[in-house]
């Protein structure tokens, strides 16, 4: 499609004030002709087919990758509900993303809480078209020291919790005849990494769960996994000294961590109509980290 034709289908040019809510990069030019032009360009570039009006539920959506994904879907014109167990982070995201359709407090490892939060998301948005099944935790520890309680906790959130939310969404979408479920795995689910054996096992589990769900739920519901490599979330940055950050960046062919908004962009694409033929696979976003084993380091 020619750029002119694409622009003709756009909604009216937003005002600088309303556009800024959707386009943070125009901030430096606020109130100028340059700002209007930049906002309009961003509206074109941000546009993913079929996301406007979609109803999206994001678990672990109050922080990091989930929060960036909530912001991205709002920019695309979707209705977004965030589910998180962290009450404080939930209050913050509510202030940060004022367009959210709802913020729900629930622990994904508790089946009853998942069922009632999912029902509340359906009530608030009138249905759920897209699930971003993203909540997860990790604990850095030696394999020899992992306690039974730690093992159970990581499995409960990262695998059982993903299953609980996925099944609630799949039942809802199956009945309605369509939907998209996207689950956050990790490169740790594809390769071995020291000090995260329990976490790695859960992420490998998420990948197999994704593949199996995709086969059973086709052709109505698409199911994919996203496997990020190193993502520089604020919490992750706080754990690094500058030297540690440089060392990890040096192992990545693109020489940097991903920004959470880059993982959000992959979720937006996979949920869009442009990805209508994609199901049952894992999409890696790791700056080339796992492309060549030792050769890529």
- Report if residue 60 touches ligand NAD, rule: CB under 6 A: yes
- Report if residue 73 touches ligand NAD, rule: CB under 6 A: no
> Residue 288 region, left (φ>0) first, then alpha (ψ -120 to 50), else beta?
left
Smallest separation, CB 202 to ligand NAD (Å): 8
Build a one-symbol-per-residue string for 168-197: x at contacts with ligand NAD by CB under 6 A, - elsewhere.
Answer: ----------------x-x-----------
- Within its chain, how far is the Cα of 196 from the centroid? 21
Binding segment toward ligand NAD, per CB under 6 A, in 19-27, 72-80, 166-174, 225-233: 225-233
Smallest separation, CB 187 to ligand NAD (Å): 7
- Six-digit token pair at 235? 């919490």
Is 209 within 8 Å of 217 (Cβ atoms)? no
| Residue 55 DSSP code | E
- Report if residue 19 touches ligand NAD, rule: CB under 6 A: no
Smallest separation, CB 112 to ligand NAD (Å): 13
The whole-angstrom separation of Cα 164 and Cα 148 is 22
Task: Give the one residue of 72, 85, 172, 222 binding ligand NAD; rule: CB under 6 A.
Answer: 85
Smallest separation, CB 84 to ligand NAD (Å): 5
The whole-angstrom separation of Cα 284 and Cα 281 is 10
Nearest to 164 by CA among 108, 119, 121: 108
Q: Any idea which residues carry the catalytic annotation? A: 199
- Report if residue 65 touches ligand NAD, rule: CB under 6 A: yes
Nearest to 134 by CA among 60, 38, 48: 60
CB nearer ligand NAD, residue 26 or residue 267: 267
Task: Give the one residue of 26, 43, 48, 63 binding ligand NAD; rule: CB under 6 A.
Answer: 63
Helices (H), 177-225: 197-217
- The neighbour count for residue 178, using CB atoms within 10 Å, is 11
Interacting residues with ligand NAD (CB under 6 A): 59-60, 62-66, 84-86, 89, 107-109, 134-138, 157, 161, 184, 186, 228, 230-231, 233, 235-236
């Amino acid at each position: 499609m020619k750029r002119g034709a694409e622009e003709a289908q756009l909604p009216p040019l937003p005002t600088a004030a309303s556009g800024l809510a959707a386009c943070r990069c125009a901030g430096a030019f606020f109130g100028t002709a340059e700002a209007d032009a930049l906002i309009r360009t961003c509206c074109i570039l941000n546009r993913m087919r079929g996301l406007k009006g979609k109803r999206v539920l994001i678990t672990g959506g109050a922080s990091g990758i989930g929060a960036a994904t909530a912001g991205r879907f709002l920019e695309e014109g979707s209705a977004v509900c965030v589910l998180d167990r962290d009450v404080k982070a939930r209050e913050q995201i509510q202030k940060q993303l004022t367009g959210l359709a709802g913020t729900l407090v629930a622990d994904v490892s508790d089946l009853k809480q998942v069922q009632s939060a999912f029902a509340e998301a359906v009530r608030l948005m009138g249905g759920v078209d897209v699930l971003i099944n993203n909540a997860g935790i990790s604990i850095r520890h030696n394999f020899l020291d992992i306690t039974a309680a730690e093992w159970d906790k990581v499995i409960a959130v990262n695998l059982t919790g993903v299953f609980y939310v996925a099944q609630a969404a799949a039942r809802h979408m199956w009945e309605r005849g369509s939907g998209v479920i996207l689950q956050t795995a990790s490169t740790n689910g594809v390769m071995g990494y020291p000090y995260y054996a329990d976490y790695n096992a859960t992420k490998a589990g998420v990948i197999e769960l994704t593949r199996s769900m995709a086969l059973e739920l086709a052709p109505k519901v698409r199911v994919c996994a996203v496997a990020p490599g190193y993502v520089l979330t604020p919490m992750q940055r706080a754990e690094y000294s500058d030297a540690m950050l440089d060392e990890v960046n040096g192992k990545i062919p693109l020489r940097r961590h991903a920004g959470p908004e880059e993982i959000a962009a992959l979720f937006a694409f996979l949920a869009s109509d442009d990805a209508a033929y994609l199901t049952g696979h894992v999409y890696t976003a790791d700056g080339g980290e796992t492309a060549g084993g030792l050769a890529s380091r």
